[in-house]
Structure 1
Amino acid sequence: MCSHQPPCPTVDSPDHHTAVIVSAHPEQGWSLLCNGTVVFDDTGELLPDGRVVSPHRTSGAPTVAA
């Protein structure tokens, strides 16, 4: 799918989410990457073969100063 140089990481690479954005839809909260991955603003992903990657945000309570 990737035709530019250097080529984007494949969907099976650990860094697949760093591929070039080919279609951005920030108003809807998602972008399509060059390798066919759809990434969502909540850090979830939909891979081209239909697999789902759950959001991987760090969850932490806000720190309150005493």
Structure 2
Amino acid sequence: MCKHRPTCPSAVSPDREAARLTVHHPEQGWSLLCNGVLLFEDTGELLPDGKIVAPHRVLPPAVAA
């Protein structure tokens, strides 16, 4: 899928999020990377083979009441 040099990480690489953006829709909360990964605003991912990667953002610690 990636046509530039050096090529981007594949969709199964641990660093797949480092691939270049091909389509970006921040108003809809998603971006398409050149390796075919759909990256969502909440850091979840949809891989080209249909596998889902759960969101992995770091949440701030809860504030004690």
Give TM-score, length-normalised by structure 1.
Answer: 0.89
- Aligned match of 1:38: 38
Question: How many residues are paired up?
Answer: 64
Structure 2 stretches lacking a partner, 5+ long: none
**Cα deviation per residue 1:3-62 (whole Å; 9 max; x = unaligned)?**
001100001110001100000000000000000000001000000000000000123224
Task: Mark the structure with the bigger radius of gyration.
Answer: 1
Give the alignment's Cα RMSD to 1 decimal.
Answer: 1.6
Q: Is 2:62 the counterpart of 1:61?
A: yes
The offset of 1:63, in angstroms, is 7.6
Q: Distance in 2 between matches of 1:47 and 1:53?
A: 8
Task: Give the 4+ runs in structure 1 shifted more than 3 A.
Answer: none
**Which deviates more from structure 2 when the two are superposed, residues 54-63 or residues 24-33?**
54-63
Structure 1 stretches lacking a partner, 5+ long: none
